[in-house]
Amino acid sequence: MITSHDIVMVGGGGAGLRAAIAIAETNPDLSVAVVSKVYPMRSHTVAAEGGAAAVIKDNDSLENHINDTISGGDWMCDQDAVELFVNEAPRELIQMEHWGCPWSREPDGTVAVRPFGGMKIERTWYAADKTGFHMLHTLFQTSLKYNNITRYDEWFATKILVENGRCQGVTAIELRSGKVEVIAGRSVIMCTGGAGRVFPFTTNGAIKTGDGMSMAYRAGVPLKDMEFIQYHPTGLPGTGILITEAARGEGGILVNKDGYRYLQDYDLGTPLDINDPKHPVKKSMELGPRDRLSQAFVAERENGRTVSGPYG
């Protein structure tokens, strides 16, 4: 059986739903299919806890955000992509609020922001400790307003169909029945997320198996920057449970088995005196770039200065 749409979106998480909404808003006459191997509210976006970065404070600027991002990426970032993202981020997060995302607030009613790794100025918007949960709920509920968006929930896309050098849609299996269908489209947008499950230990959910990357590769699409895997410096050993960066943004510190704040030995700043009124919230060490913190932890572990346990 063949079902036809103008645009086929593979992936129903934050990226897929946002793209579908943008298309539906731009042209109500376009038929948009959202193909997701899980119900959209089970997409991995829901697991994000900490927040999303966008310039909002008077003492911040787009240039500062760009500089922090590029320097935090060791100057290996695609700088055009960084500039585009940074410029669009404030408008997007304000739009999310208009759609109903409950951003946390300061006592005066302004949007609350907190520091995250690599930032010199607080610019992380958050919704309590369930940022991804609220963002995904907001996007899902907004998508329901558009009659030209058709959802294929729990349909597993298996192949990108290419004919005469052009993408023509995808094949997909309905997980409930096992039937296979062609979902045809003039354009296909891949929004399938990462592939953390290729590693034996990951904070990613069971669904992050790299299906979209694999399908794109088999269809002849060159994959870019596959070596850039995000290593997060804090988690619970043996569980795959992330300790959100917000724990450090709100004042958490990292110490080795001797109670020593070891990051000061890795060119990540000097800790404030314990009696300083700004301690421990306003600090630089624990809010360094994630890759630097992860490397420092590995060095401490190799030198026998970490706490040993049954899971690592």
Please report, for the chain, the start and end positions of each structural domain, with discontinuous segments joined by +: 2-45+139-218, 50-129, 235-302
* pLDDT score for 242: 86
- Catalytic residue chosen out of the listed positions 186, 197, 232, 301: 232
* pLDDT score for 281: 46
DSSP track, 11-54: --SHHHHHHHHHHHHH-TTS-EEEEESS-GGGSGGGG--S-EE-
Specify whether 305 is catalytic.
Answer: no
CA distance 287 to 245: 8
**Cβ-proximal residues to 52 (8 Å cutoff; 6+ apart), any chain:** 89, 93, 124, 125, 126, 131, 135
CB 232, CB 203: distance < 8 Å = yes
The dihedral built from the CA positions of residue 105, 107, 113 and 114, taken in this order, carries a sign that is negative
CATH code, residues 2-45+139-218:
3.50.50.60
Identity at 150, one-letter amino acid code: T
Q: How far apart are the first and last CA of the chain?
A: 50
- Omega prior to 280 cis, within 30 of 0: yes
**Environment class of 7 (CB within 10 Å of its CB; exposed 0-12, middle 13-18, buried 19+):** buried
* pLDDT score for 268: 80
- Catalytic residue chosen out of the listed positions 5, 42, 44, 248: 248
Specify whether 134 is catalytic.
Answer: no
**Cβ-proximal residues to 127 (8 Å cutoff; 6+ apart), any chain:** 51, 101, 102, 103, 104, 133, 134, 135
Per-residue pLDDT of the chain (312 residues; tens, 9 = 90+): 899 999 999 999 999 999 999 999 999 999 999 999 999 999 999 988 889 999 999 999 999 999 999 998 889 999 999 999 999 999 999 999 999 999 999 999 999 998 888 888 899 999 998 999 999 999 999 999 999 999 999 999 999 999 999 999 999 999 999 999 999 999 999 999 999 999 988 889 899 999 999 999 999 999 999 999 888 888 888 888 888 888 887 888 899 999 888 988 888 877 655 555 554 444 568 888 888 899 999 999 999 999 887 766
Name the nearest CA neighbour of 23 among 214, 189, 236.
Answer: 189
Structure tokens at 12: 């129903």
* pLDDT score for 49: 84
Name the nearest CA neighbour of 126 among 102, 159, 156, 99.
Answer: 102
